[in-house]
Amino acid sequence: MVDNQTDHPGGNAGEVFRYSHGDARDVTVMNVKPMRRIRYSVAMSLDGYIAGPKGEFDWIIMDPDIDFTEIYSQFDTLLIGRRTFEPMVGAEGPSMKGIKTYVFSRTLQQSDYPDVTIVNDNVSETLQSLRNAPGKDIWLFGGGLLFRSLADAGFVDSVEVAIIPVLLGEGIPLVPAPVSQMNLELTSHRIYEKTGTVALEYQLKTDDPH
């Protein structure tokens, strides 16, 4: 006997096949589609800041060997906190056609920003729905407060940092205090010799079922 179902208790998209033969016990084989990853990917100064004290990004060196088109092609969803989003409104940034943006804020109103989705409640439900939906990976664009909140809730899969050879002295940190300890595993690294930028990719070690 074979039963084919489209959902299973784990909440991931996939199929469940149950086999039974004679008096033998049923064996369940799950064909599970992997969840989309949420990746915190940012540029950071050597002293640990992702933006200047007023949100400045003009210190970030654009290395000619970094293929930004290829990077953007890995994502179709962007997660942004209010403090990172507001300086971007009206600013001319890199083209991200085909990428849907979710802004997490308790104060912004959806009616004021029709081109993005404002998330001010049901955050966990929204994130889990995004991860279970088909599509590319999800770019946690910033800032540090949003990263800290999502990481504490078990919704961040990787931390990807491009270390820029500059010391800012002050600014917005990669992750603001207080922060719980996060254990990371290095999965990739590359040195861009033309600018001295170092790209590091880590996977978060977590037992969280998300």
Q: What is the pLDDT along the chain (210 residues), one digit of tens a residue?
A: 434 333 333 334 444 434 344 554 554 444 456 789 999 999 999 999 999 998 889 999 999 999 989 999 999 999 999 888 887 776 544 446 778 999 999 999 999 999 899 999 899 999 999 999 999 999 999 889 999 999 999 999 999 999 999 999 999 999 999 888 999 999 999 999 999 999 999 999 866 544
Q: Does pTM surpass 0.75?
A: yes
Task: Tell me, yes or no, whether 192 lies in a domain.
Answer: yes
Residues 134, 65, single domain; the answer is: yes
Residue type for 199, please?
Answer: A
Omega prior to 143 cis, within 30 of 0? yes
The answer to whether the beta carbons of residues 158 and 35 sit under 8 Å apart is no
Is residue 77 domain-resident? yes
Regarding whether 22 and 117 lie in a shared domain, the answer is: no
The answer to whether residues 84 and 58 belong to one domain is: yes
Whether residue 165 has a cis bond before it, omega within 30° of 0: no
22 touches 122 (CB < 8 A): no
Give me the number of domains the chain comprises.
Answer: 2
Cβ pair 76, 100 in contact under 8 A: yes
Residues in a beta bridge with 49: 173
One domain for residues 82 and 173: yes
Which domain range does residue 25 map to?
2-32
